Amino acid sequence: FADLLEPLGIDRTDATASHQLRLAVRLAAGEAGIWACDAVYANFKDADGFRAEAIAAKRLGYIGKSCIHPNQIALANEVFRPTDEEIAFARRVVDAAKQSNAGAFTVDGRMIDAPFIRRAEAVLAIARQLPPPTA
């Protein structure tokens, strides 16, 4: 984001500006049928700041965050790795979809249809690609 914001004098730490920019990028990527990876967090000594930005990006559907320093890699993996609960729910959704002939059905009291099935399949695909969590 620095390449875009700094020359314009926009404070990169402004939460509203960052959120709007991330959302616009994610929506454009989604419409183009591609994934989005969040930008670098330059202060590699600020783990809390990196984590906060990564969490914000994950909530917007980003698949990861660029790392400028090796100490950011474990943080990125920690944030973007689907949780055990997300993986279990995704499995229940995919399993139910295989057994359902309806356009919509419920899992755990939630209405599920095609967009939710695609999301569950994506969660499972990500889970298969990541290394096991470290203790």
Which residues are annotated as catalytic? 113
Cα angle 108, 110, 113 (rounded to 5 degrees) comes to 120
Two tokens, residue 5: 């914001």
Alpha helix positions (H), 60-134: 73-80, 84-99, 114-129
Count of beta carbons in the 10 Å neighbourhood of residue 97? 19
How many angstroms separate the CA atoms of 77 and 50, rounded?
12
Closest CA to 4 of 24, 29, 32: 24
- CA 33 – CA 41 distance, rounded (Å): 25
